Amino acid sequence: MAALKFPAFLRKHELQLLVVATEDIGPGTVLDKKKRGFLPQGHLREVLDDRAPRFWAVVLRRANLTQGTIERTVALTGKSSLDEMGVEVGGGLERASSVRFAITRVSARTFGQGTGRASKLALLPLLAERRGSEPAVWRSIKGKWVVLETYHASEATLTFTAATSVDLEADVNAAGGARLRGGGKLRWTSRRSFTIAQNNSVPFAFRGFRVGTR
């Protein structure tokens, strides 16, 4: 089965790319869209502060969005470091021209299911109430995005493009090494390739809705 290109994957599943992502972005996060991406603006629980903690509970599950591999290529020309999809390489990439992510497992962090839990259908009428009772609060969130689900590159192989004589593993380790933000497993499998697993802290995309728009 041919690999699905990353832009096509995002379009197919109507996901919003997080160009800059942090560990604190998850279901319920309020995001403001700027030219360079989405910026966190707090959590919706700060607006809907009468909801019980159970209402906001989240779960991590496998996202059955594709049966094959999702492929993403990131250019590295002129760069020495990498910070993408939760993978952080602090240096040592001067001799690499690009890196290809072959993502084999995507996980989703979502609200729990059942009555008394957050969902789009549950949130919309609660937000509509604030429009009438607290207009200042409504104006502060109108037009912003509410995250319903985040998506994570849980398992992938990263392969760097470089001359066959280049030992990128040695270069990267000399510059401080590679790691996964938020924890997980990273293992070099060759001088120019490593695998990642349990990379579930930093999302690469989300699905949600804009407040006050149809």
Domain ranges (residues) in the chain:
4-12+57-143+153-201
For 200, phi and psi rounded to 5 degrees? -115, 15
| pLDDT > 90? residue 21 | no
| pLDDT > 80? residue 214 | no
Q: What is the pLDDT of residue 3?
A: 86
| pLDDT > 70? residue 106 | yes
Question: Cβ(200)–Cβ(154) under 8 Å?
Answer: yes
| pLDDT > 80? residue 2 | no
Q: For 131-142, what is each residue's pLDDT tens digit?
A: 888 888 888 899
| pLDDT > 80? residue 154 | yes
Q: What is the pLDDT of residue 1?
A: 62
pTM here is 0.93
Q: For 43-62, what is each residue's pLDDT tens digit?
A: 999 999 889 999 999 999 99
Q: What is the pLDDT of residue 62?
A: 94
